[in-house]
A and B are shown apart, each in its own frame.
Chain A
Amino acid sequence: MGLNDIAMKAFLVLCLLALFAAAPAPLRAGELVAIVEQSEGNTGDVQLFDMLEAGRVITLGAGGRLVLGYLRSCWRETITGGEVTVGTEHGTVKRGRVYRELVECDGGSLILADALSDKSGAMVYRAPPGGDSEAPPQVILFSLTPAFHITGAAAQVTVERLDAEAPPLALALEGGMADLAATAHRLAPGGRYRASADQARVTFAIDRLAEAEGGPLIGRIIFLNP
């Protein structure tokens, strides 16, 4: 067996490992399944951008309004009053009201950081063989203004275009979040990008038909953990 054959076999093994790594595993109880997209009034002890685990019970007080985005199922729930139990794909509400809508998101492909992945059951895909430019993007976003959720000490996230010449964007993080919607920057529909913060990086693409700026968080969020 020549070197080329060995290299090819190694490549194939790596691809298989990568494919296995990318396959979403079944969720387990206690796993993080949703993110708090909006929080108004008395929402108990949850805050904006909190990650929630399945089974969590949240009691909303007077005037409480919560918007949760479910990362795998792409259901987005607006809960007004009452008590919500976070489910694996959507919540269950008592005494209040919930409006649940399916939004465009790459459910199941949203990558969670190492520290969270034990709870999420998803696995981090580090360095794709062949390089970022060649491999398929790890996640598709449906907005021109992604948001970035970073755990750890990174101070900024850098966004680089992979399929065209463009100056990289450096976004300062506040509380672990950076939202392009709060800036004047807009990414290109169909464009392929890489987001990196310290040692972690994720490749993503903007859906070719994406037009919206802002929009549901689960349709445009990237998770990184340097």
Chain B
Amino acid sequence: MKITSWRAAGLLTLLAFGLALLGAAPGTAADAPGGLSEAPVLRVETGMHTAKIGRIAIHPGAGILASASYDKTLRLWSLKDGGLIRTLRVPIGDEREGALYGVAISPDGGMVATAGWTGESGDPNWSLYLFDIASGEMIHRINDLPHRGLHLAFSPDGSHLAVTLKNGHGFRVYRLRDFALAAARPVVHPGGLAAGDENDFDDPNCRATALPYLDADNPEGVAAPSSGWLEFDNQGRLVTVSLDGSIRLFDAEFNLLRARRAPGGEWPTSASFSPDGKYLAVGYAERQRVDVLSAEDLSLQFCPSMEGVDNGDMWRTAWSADGRFLYAGGEFERAGTHPVRRWDDGGRGRPQDVAAASAKGVTYLAPRAAGGVYFAGSEPALGAIDENHIKLFEWRSRAADFRDMGSDFRLSANGAQVYFKFASGGGATALFALETRALKLDPPAPGADFAPPLLKTPAMAVANWQGSYAPTLNGAALPLFPYERAESYAVAPDQSGILLGTRWRVIRYGANANEMWSFQAPGETWALNITTDGRLAAAAFGDGSIRWYRMADGAELLALFAHKDGARWVAWTPAGHYLASPGGDSLVGWHVNRGADRAADFFAVRRFREAFYRPDIVMQALAAEAREVPGGIGRLLPPVVAALTLSGGAEISAPRVTVELSVRAAPGDTLSAIQVRADGRPIAALEGDLADLAGGAPFELALTVPRHDSEISVTAEGSRGTVSEAARLSLRWVGGAAESRPDLYLLAAGVSHYAAEELRLNFAHKDARDFAAILLAQDGRAYGTVHLRILSDDEASGAALRDGLAWLRREARAGDFAALFLAGHGVDDASGAYFFLPHDGDPARLAETALAYGEIKEALTSLSARSLLFVDTCRAGGVWGRPGEPSNDVVRVVNDLSSPENGVIVFASSTHAQLSVENAAWRNGAFTEAMLEGLAGRADLFGDGEVTVSTLDAYISRRVRKLTAGRQTPAVGKPVEADFPLALVGADGAQ
């Protein structure tokens, strides 16, 4: 087969890849090639896909958009607000197993189907999964597909599900009543295939292709063509296209009506019925052409204008819901984006383009009920274009885009610091330093001590590599799998060979172009680098991760994921020990298969923070003497809140509501409690003998919820002390507004003048007083009454602090706010437990004299009032015997307290290894200075008179960095998405 383009190769490569992986190359992962993982698998999770989205499905009635991705997830999105409703996880393996290509939603909106690389190559065991949308549970697995499923569609009456297949198997139809096979239609043409009237019209848009239908080297055409598209019309007719160029039309009983060769040549990739059923719009891979055929006899009717389309293709087509417009999109690129083209007059009119997918090509189009289309992209991206052909939104990947990073991917000599860019073409740069646990945005350009990839030496010359299937080393071909495409490389400093990064693997070659080891990459390998001592390799992948490997054998040592927001990140070892920023511990998690016939579970690493938050282990992961520390979450698996719905809908006008839910205990464990929170605060709990609820049977709970918009979250606790991920519901209050404002109870403690001279600070005592004063000004404004208890210097004894916490517990009620402000020294003991040092505290006797984190946590998490913690305790050392270094890991505190099960909003002055800065000019710490400014009005970012949790977070984040010249980065942990005002500043003046 003559390869004319990467896309063409890509359409045919997956089979080759699968066959190649069956003969696992040396150095590949220990798991058997193919097959489901028995052990939990670490996966990046950003709340958005991390790999190409192949297909989307829309159900306007149910208000759902479903997206299937190569990242092995199927996601359900709300059409109303764009929120992620649920992530469905099929069983996966370490290799390609679980990558999803197709998705379809049943006409009643109750079921979603998906398929893809869901089986083992060579076995007739490919699977198709059906999920219940409401609960997320797997309804059924069809497991007799002869090959990978590509595209799915439900019949209009909901009685059947059709799936197209690779490798000449055409399509199959299953009866949903009993999931039995109703029809199988391989790609065969016993009567031949009519060529048709491809050049009947003297139409410049029906550009005759110079390529014959049949390749000279392969007179039979594509021997086993894949069928990538299938669509039903309203009468139940079905059209399908295949890569041998065939278009086939079937009746409602799946009998062939007509077949022909596509006018535009090989590789038709979509065929969409017009809403009236009269026409078919056909798109092609690698063709700047769209054909409109008669849906009766498949004759060519016309070709929409391709004016200005001079590259790529328009391989996906769709009609507007009313049929007035025809849409197409694909790999066509203009000015760095990938437009969606629209033709009016049913495709006959003038074209109009709108920039759609920003980074990579359009992979799918689906009509939008209100007009326009939804689109999916390879980046991955999801978006919509309205009826006026204006882009409404584009949700893009939240991972860094490492394409074309080249020499901007730099390593320190020991590899423990990496400099990189978040996006190609001028994106923000970042420096991650493992030793200081810091991610710094837009750092100064690194000096000579940071080495870019070595690309050429006298002994090593790599050629023909970028985007190529045939790279060479010193003129010798580097062996790759068929259709495997190279994207990056680095020369070993000792010139013993090179590392080559492809779209599928990282491969080490010796000087003779001999493969030494390889492993499957978690995404496209966009950049590579090797430390100057040749010991470590680092790679930047398409899933947004940067990973370190041992050059000797390719063993993975460490991984880093930095969110595109530049604030959150997580680093982890293969065993699962991790180190994270505030909020970063939700960015990676464990995928846990539950067998071939059940949806898999997913647990963010924060679920295991007690055992796996191990900065000490992670920080040693790259050391030459490092030994892998075994992990294993088997006995730590938490329960699962499987479903949570509200009877009567999310709009409420009365505080008494009933929720329906189901809960599963972890294998071998029992349920000990179910906790319900509103805006992070406990409102209900079920405890005791819960055996009858632990198996997933649905049950109801009656709740009293707040009389305002709120977020309800439910967690389940296992008897081993485990806690589930939270299931959440957003409620919208449409009842009467409360007359009274909540009260605020604030305990503000600040200690500057410690008994020990070496512990003394400058402004911590004043920080507490000033913070209290700024909130007291909100008495009668944001709050009904502000109740203060201020403990300053010698007032802030351990006993007084404990009495203050008791006061909060006693006084603050449901609906109120309770806040704790701590400024002074925080200290971690040898075990890493945090203590706040009161005025009379002794760092040598923390347990006896200091306020333990456990006491703070117990007080704040037991309150019915909304709880906030403001902590500024990363003061200069002295307490730890290491002057100039912080004495506590406040990130641990932030991530724990702000977890859904604890529900405390935390504002922390700095993160990890940073010190809190004080300044005589402000006479406060930088954190408090920024808080005072923000609460006084500068954090009223929208000019609506409100300083909310989110706007204050945004303000102090930038302000503190500016005040401290980047030395200090505050962190905020928020257990719920809901935002609310902390201060009101109005037309009558700020405070």
Residues on A lying within 8 angstroms of B by beta carbon are 26, 73-74, 81-82, 93-104, 107-108, 208-209, 211-212
B884 within 8 A of A: no
Query: For residue B810, which residues in chain A have a CB less than 8 angstroms away from its CB?
Result: 26
Of the 9-residue stretches B247-255, B307-315, B475-483, B731-739, which lies at the interface with chain A? B731-739
- Are A101's CB and B689's CB within 8 A? no
Query: For residue A74, which residues in chain B have a CB less than 8 angstroms away from its CB?
Result: 813-814, 864
List 18 additional A-B contacts (Cβ < 8 Å) besides A95-B689, A97-B686.
A74-B814, A81-B689, A82-B689, A96-B689, A97-B688, A98-B685, A99-B686, A99-B701, A100-B684, A100-B685, A101-B683, A107-B813, A108-B813, A208-B736, A208-B739, A209-B738, A212-B654, A212-B656
- Are B689's CB and A99's CB within 8 A? no
- Are B689's CB and A209's CB within 8 A? no
Question: Which B residue sits closest to A27, measured CB to CB?
Answer: B810
Question: Which A residue sits closest to B686, measured CB to CB?
Answer: A99
* B-side interface size class: 20 to 34
Instruction: Kindly state the separation between the CA atoms of A104 and B707 in the bound complex, as whole angstroms.
Output: 10
State the Cβ distance, B299 to closest chain A Cβ, in Å: 67
28 A-B pairs with CB atoms under 8 Å apart are: A26-B810, A74-B813, A74-B814, A74-B864, A82-B689, A93-B688, A95-B689, A96-B688, A97-B687, A97-B688, A97-B690, A98-B685, A101-B685, A102-B682, A102-B683, A102-B704, A102-B814, A103-B704, A104-B655, A104-B704, A107-B813, A108-B813, A208-B739, A209-B707, A209-B736, A209-B738, A212-B654, A212-B656
- Are A211's CB and B654's CB within 8 A? yes
Query: For residue A100, which residues in chain B have a CB less than 8 angstroms away from its CB?
Result: 684-687
- Are A99's CB and B684's CB within 8 A? yes
B703 within 8 A of A: yes
Contact with A along B678-704 (1 / 0, CB 8 A): 000011111111100000000001111
Query: For residue A103, which residues in chain B have a CB less than 8 angstroms away from its CB?
Result: 704
Instruction: Kindly state the separation between the CA atoms of A209 and B739 in the bound complex, as whole angstroms.
Output: 9
One of B686, B688, B738 near A95 (C-beta < 8 A): B688
Query: When A and B form their complex, which 10 residue pairs have the shortest distance between CB atoms, in order from nearest?
Result: A97-B688, A101-B684, A102-B683, A100-B685, A209-B736, A97-B689, A93-B688, A103-B704, A99-B686, A98-B687
- Are A102's CB and B864's CB within 8 A? yes
User: Given the interface contacts A211-B654, A212-B656, does A101 sit within 8 Å of B707 by beta carbon?
Assistant: no
State the Cβ distance, A80 to closest chain B Cβ, in Å: 8
Contact with A along B722-764 (1 / 0, CB 8 A): 0000000000000110110000000000000000000000000
User: Given the interface contacts A208-B739, A209-B736, A212-B656, does A101 sit within 8 Å of B702 by beta carbon?
Assistant: yes
State the Cβ distance, A25 to closest chain B Cβ, in Å: 10
Query: For residue B656, which residues in chain A have a CB less than 8 angstroms away from its CB?
Result: 212
Instruction: Kindly state the separation between the CA atoms of A108 and B686 in the bound complex, as whole angstroms.
Output: 24
Instruction: Kindly state the separation between the CA atoms of A209 and B654 in the bound complex, as whole angstroms.
Output: 9
Query: For residue B684, which residues in chain A have a CB less than 8 angstroms away from its CB?
Result: 99-102
Instruction: Kindly state the separation between the CA atoms of A81 and B687 in the bound complex, as whole angstroms.
Output: 12
Instruction: Kindly state the separation between the CA atoms of A68 and B680 in the bound complex, as whole angstroms.
Output: 25
Query: For residue B739, which residues in chain A have a CB less than 8 angstroms away from its CB?
Result: 208
One of A93, A108, A211 near B687 (C-beta < 8 A): A93
Query: For residue A82, which residues in chain B have a CB less than 8 angstroms away from its CB?
Result: 688-689
Contact with A along B812-850 (1 / 0, CB 8 A): 011000000000000000000000000000000000000
Residues on B lying within 8 angstroms of A by beta carbon are 654-656, 682-690, 701-704, 707, 735-736, 738-739, 810, 813-814, 864
Instruction: Kindly state the separation between the CA atoms of A93 and B673 in the bound complex, as whole angstroms.
Output: 12
Instruction: Kindly state the separation between the CA atoms of A161 and B655 in the bound complex, as whole angstroms.
Output: 26
- Are A101's CB and B704's CB within 8 A? yes
Question: Which A residue sits closest to B736, measured CB to CB?
Answer: A209
Query: For residue B702, which residues in chain A have a CB less than 8 angstroms away from its CB?
Result: 101
State the Cβ distance, B624 to closest chain A Cβ, in Å: 54
State the Cβ distance, B653 to closest chain A Cβ, in Å: 9
Query: For residue B685, which residues in chain A have a CB less than 8 angstroms away from its CB?
Result: 98-101
Interface centre among B683, B701, B814 (most CB of A within 10 A): B814
Instruction: Kindly state the separation between the CA atoms of A95 and B655 in the bound complex, as whole angstroms.
Output: 31
Instruction: Kindly state the separation between the CA atoms of A88 and B655 in the bound complex, as whole angstroms.
Output: 25
Interface centre among B703, B704, B864 (most CB of A within 10 A): B704
State the Cβ distance, A209 to closest chain B Cβ, in Å: 5
State the Cβ distance, A9 to closest chain B Cβ, in Å: 25
Instruction: Kindly state the separation between the CA atoms of A93 and B690 in the bound complex, as whole angstroms.
Output: 13
Query: For residue B690, which residues in chain A have a CB less than 8 angstroms away from its CB?
Result: 97
State the Cβ distance, A22 to closest chain B Cβ, in Å: 14
State the Cβ distance, B102 to closest chain A Cβ, in Å: 44
Question: Which A residue sits closest to B806, measured CB to CB?
Answer: A26
- Are A101's CB and B736's CB within 8 A? no
Query: For residue A81, which residues in chain B have a CB less than 8 angstroms away from its CB?
Result: 689
Query: For residue A209, which residues in chain B have a CB less than 8 angstroms away from its CB?
Result: 707, 735-736, 738
Interface centre among A94, A101, A102 (most CB of B within 10 A): A102
Instruction: Kindly state the separation between the CA atoms of A94 and B813 in the bound complex, as whole angstroms.
Output: 27
Query: For residue A107, which residues in chain B have a CB less than 8 angstroms away from its CB?
Result: 813
Instruction: Kindly state the separation between the CA atoms of A26 and B864 in the bound complex, as whole angstroms.
Output: 18
Instruction: Kindly state the separation between the CA atoms of A73 and B701 in the bound complex, as whole angstroms.
Output: 20
Instruction: Kindly state the separation between the CA atoms of A82 and B687 in the bound complex, as whole angstroms.
Output: 12
Query: For residue B814, which residues in chain A have a CB less than 8 angstroms away from its CB?
Result: 74, 102
Query: For residue A104, which residues in chain B have a CB less than 8 angstroms away from its CB?
Result: 655, 704
Query: For residue A208, which residues in chain B have a CB less than 8 angstroms away from its CB?
Result: 736, 739
State the Cβ distance, A223 to closest chain B Cβ, in Å: 19
One of B682, B688, B736 near A98 (C-beta < 8 A): B688
Instruction: Kindly state the separation between the CA atoms of A1 and B683 in the bound complex, as whole angstroms.
Output: 54
Instruction: Kindly state the separation between the CA atoms of A30 and B739 in the bound complex, as whole angstroms.
Output: 36
Question: Which A residue sits closest to B810, measured CB to CB?
Answer: A26
Interface centre among B683, B684, B687, B703 (most CB of A within 10 A): B687
Instruction: Kindly state the separation between the CA atoms of A96 and B655 in the bound complex, as whole angstroms.
Output: 28
State the Cβ distance, B858 to closest chain A Cβ, in Å: 13
Instruction: Kindly state the separation between the CA atoms of A97 and B691 in the bound complex, as whole angstroms.
Output: 10
Instruction: Kindly state the separation between the CA atoms of A212 and B655 in the bound complex, as whole angstroms.
Output: 10
Query: For residue B688, which residues in chain A have a CB less than 8 angstroms away from its CB?
Result: 82, 93-98
Question: Which B residue sits closest to A90, measured CB to CB?
Answer: B685
Query: For residue A212, which residues in chain B have a CB less than 8 angstroms away from its CB?
Result: 654, 656
Instruction: Kindly state the separation between the CA atoms of A100 and B676 in the bound complex, as whole angstroms.
Output: 10
Query: For residue B687, which residues in chain A have a CB less than 8 angstroms away from its CB?
Result: 93, 97-98, 100
Query: For residue B654, which residues in chain A have a CB less than 8 angstroms away from its CB?
Result: 211-212
Instruction: Kindly state the separation between the CA atoms of A73 and B690 in the bound complex, as whole angstroms.
Output: 25
Query: For residue B655, which residues in chain A have a CB less than 8 angstroms away from its CB?
Result: 104
Question: Which A residue sits closest to B815, measured CB to CB?
Answer: A104
- Are A98's CB and B686's CB within 8 A? yes
Instruction: Kindly state the separation between the CA atoms of A175 and B426 in the bound complex, as whole angstroms.
Output: 81
Question: Which A residue sits closest to B656, measured CB to CB?
Answer: A212
Instruction: Kindly state the separation between the CA atoms of A74 and B685 in the bound complex, as whole angstroms.
Output: 13
Instruction: Kindly state the separation between the CA atoms of A100 and B704 in the bound complex, as whole angstroms.
Output: 11
Instruction: Kindly state the separation between the CA atoms of A152 and B171 in the bound complex, as whole angstroms.
Output: 84
- Are A73's CB and B683's CB within 8 A? no
Query: For residue B813, which residues in chain A have a CB less than 8 angstroms away from its CB?
Result: 74, 107-108
State the Cβ distance, B3 to closest chain A Cβ, in Å: 66
State the Cβ distance, A84 to closest chain B Cβ, in Å: 10
State the Cβ distance, B568 to closest chain A Cβ, in Å: 32
State the Cβ distance, B675 to closest chain A Cβ, in Å: 10
State the Cβ distance, B17 to closest chain A Cβ, in Å: 54
Instruction: Kindly state the separation between the CA atoms of A71 and B90 in the bound complex, as whole angstroms.
Output: 49
Query: For residue A96, which residues in chain B have a CB less than 8 angstroms away from its CB?
Result: 688-689
Instruction: Kindly state the separation between the CA atoms of A40 and B732 in the bound complex, as whole angstroms.
Output: 36
Interface centre among A93, A94, A99, A208 (most CB of B within 10 A): A99
Question: Which B residue sits closest to A96, measured CB to CB?
Answer: B688
Instruction: Kindly state the separation between the CA atoms of A95 and B687 in the bound complex, as whole angstroms.
Output: 10
Instruction: Kindly state the separation between the CA atoms of A211 and B701 in the bound complex, as whole angstroms.
Output: 21
Instruction: Kindly state the separation between the CA atoms of A99 and B685 in the bound complex, as whole angstroms.
Output: 6
Instruction: Kindly state the separation between the CA atoms of A226 and B978 in the bound complex, as whole angstroms.
Output: 48
Instruction: Kindly state the separation between the CA atoms of A100 and B655 in the bound complex, as whole angstroms.
Output: 16
Query: For residue B683, which residues in chain A have a CB less than 8 angstroms away from its CB?
Result: 101-102
State the Cβ distance, B681 to closest chain A Cβ, in Å: 9
Instruction: Kindly state the separation between the CA atoms of A74 and B812 in the bound complex, as whole angstroms.
Output: 12
Instruction: Kindly state the separation between the CA atoms of A104 and B656 in the bound complex, as whole angstroms.
Output: 10
Instruction: Kindly state the separation between the CA atoms of A94 and B702 in the bound complex, as whole angstroms.
Output: 23
Question: Which B residue sits closest to A100, measured CB to CB?
Answer: B685
Question: Which A residue sits closest to B691, measured CB to CB?
Answer: A97
